[in-house]
Structure 1
Amino acid sequence: MQSNNPILSRVSVQANFSQPMTVEGAVQKSILLTIVAAVVGVAFYIYCNLTGAFNIAMAGFFVGAVGSFILAMITTFKPNTAPALAIPYALFEGVFLGGVSLFFEMKYSGIASQALLATFATAVTMFVLYRTGVVRATEKFKSVVISASIAILLVFVVQWIMVLAFKSTIPGLFESTWLGIGFAAFVAIVASLNLILDFDLIESGAANGAPKNFEWVCSIALLATLVWMYVSFLRLIGLLSDD
């Protein structure tokens, strides 16, 4: 079975009918990882904010981003490692969330709670649309969302290279302009649509008899999408506040 989530697009899983995964198991593990990431994120945010340890917050931002990315890649190519790496992945994501939230809060007071509310409301909406069949994870839908996700990733890679190598940015795309706001909104929409792929991945995995450890792979994918959504809403709300 091949995943439709960007970070799992090259994973192949051998079915194990003696102990297959279940939707309930994947949901429980997803909730667990989300809680772990949220608790760590809030604790790290509060600590850095109260102590004024903004350098530690920035270090946590980078360490969390790199650490979670590395662990996600490992579970992508070696899904059997997911049960052992899932909690560490959530810890890294939590540190990243705490750092990035403090960064935005320093510039836009109250933005973290707004982005969190937007993420929660959007996640619920996507789930309802998926369960009612209004939005279906057809092959065309998957292809469009995955292609858009890859395109966004490439744009960000180009942006990072330009910043690091040339001290410049892509003109207008990451600024508080109509182009920048439009791009940020597009990223938030694509990130949200990835939830449909995650929901479908869980149901397809259970239907195809994927092994029990694939529940952890699905939970990592779902948490990755939620974090992407949250950061996307942070950027979008921040740009709108500047406008």
Structure 2
Amino acid sequence: MQSNNPILTRVETYSDFNQPMTVQGAVQKSVMLTVISAVVGIAFFIYCAMSLASNPAGALSLANIGALVGGIGGFVLALIATFKPTMARTLAIPYALFEGAFLGGVSLIFQFKYPGAPVQALIATFVTSLVMFGLYRARIIRATEKFKSVVMSATIAICLVFVVQLVMRLAFGSSIPYIFESNWLGIGLAVFIAVIASLNLILDFDLIENAAAQGAPKSFEWLCSIALLATLVWMYISFLRIIGLVRN
């Protein structure tokens, strides 16, 4: 079994007919992790925002630290869970905590630069998730092999672009010309990334259903919930970038 989530790239499952996973169990765990991440993110956002007016530099510095630690920590735990699926149960809640810190920090930074952007991005993420779920349930969008191949290829290409951008930023203090700027090309790329992030939800829904149908072990519910939360976070950040570029 393989997840098509941008973070989870290799997952092996083995049948466990004594205690197999269920779709309901994966959904419940996904909701729980999402709530934990949201609560931590909101709490961290409020904590930083309380000192934003009196000490903006300190608040933004704390937000940057939270975003950096949360982003790196969440990424590392997701990788460990990918290559050691049996550890997903242990790592799921810490992963949600890291993602919460990441979301809270990034949201505070965007709120400072573009007031109201986090709320707009949150609404866009919620509405898009409902639409994707409805399209999947109605079988209007099907996770065919061709669909999976296209979305996975686009996801990998996006990851490579961001890796190149990161290397250029750290090594040379520069950036890939045009595509990360507030112009039509940059906005167009941001919209494309948001679309691919949203389509990854279809792959995650399909992963949950297929894993349950094949009798994946109960612990795989936690791995599915990590994959789904990762996609939701990616969607939220993608919508934030669009709003920031449009309003810049």
Identify whether the pair has TM-score above 0.5, normalized to the shorter chain: yes
Match of 1:81 among 70, 78, 87: 87
Aligned 1:203-222 pairs, distance under 5 A? 203-222=209-228
Provide the rounded CA distance (Å) in 2 between the counterparts of 1:211 and 1:6.
22
**What does 1:14-93 align with in structure 2 at a 5 Å threshold?**
14-52=14-52, 53-93=59-99
- What value does the CA root-mean-square deviation take over the aligned residues? 0.8
- Could you tell me how far apart the structure 2 residues matched to 1:4 and 1:151 are? 13
Q: Distance in 1 between matches of 2:99 and 2:120?
A: 19
How far off its partner does 1:214 sit?
Answer: 0.3
Q: Could you tell me which residue of structure 1 aligns to residue 122 of structure 2?
A: 116
Q: CA deviation at 1:2?
A: 2.6
CA distance in 2, matches of 1:9, 1:58: 28
The answer (yes or no) to whether the contact 2:66–2:101 under 8 Å persists in 1 is yes
Q: CA deviation at 1:54?
A: 1.9
* 2:141 aligned partner: 135
Shift of 1:7: 2.6
Please state whether the residue corresponding to 1:49 is helix, strand or coil: helix
Q: TM-score, normalised by structure 2?
A: 0.96
What one-letter code is carried by the residue in structure 2 that aligns with 1:9? Answer: T
Worse overlay, 51-60 or 102-111: 51-60
Return the letter of the residue paired with 1:146.
M
Return the offset for 1:11. 1.1
Question: What SS does the aligned partner of 1:37 have?
Answer: helix
Aligned residues: 242
2:111 equivalent in structure 1: 105
1:10 aligns with 2:10: yes
Identical aligned residues as a percent: 67
Indicate whether 1:223 and 2:229 are aligned. yes
Task: Supply the distance in 1 between the matched residues of 2:105 and 2:6 (Cα, whole angstroms).
Answer: 24
Give the C-alpha shift of residue 175 in structure 1. 0.8
Runs of at least 5 residues in structure 2 that lack an aligned partner in the other structure: 53-58
CA distance in 2 between counterparts of 1:110 and 1:58 reads 19
Any conservation in 1 of the 2:7–2:75 contact (CA below 8 Å)? no
State the alpha-carbon separation in 1 of the partners of residues 60 and 14 from structure 2.
Answer: 45
**Aligned amino acid, residue 96 of structure 1:** F
CA contact (8 A) 1:26 1:219 kept: yes
Counterpart amino acid of residue 199 in structure 1:
F
Q: Which amino acid aligns with 2:158?
A: I
The answer on whether the counterparts of 1:20 and 1:211 sit within 8 Å (CA) in structure 2 is yes
- 1:111-151 deviation per Cα after TM superposition (whole angstroms, max 9, x unaligned): 00000000000000000000000000000000100110010
TM-superposed deviation, 1:15: 1.2
Aligned residue for 2:108, secondary structure, equals helix
Cα shift readout 1:50-82 (whole Å, capped 9, x = no counterpart): 023221111001000000000000000000000
CA contact (8 A) 1:33 1:90 kept: yes
Find the residue that maps to 1:6 and give its secondary structure: coil
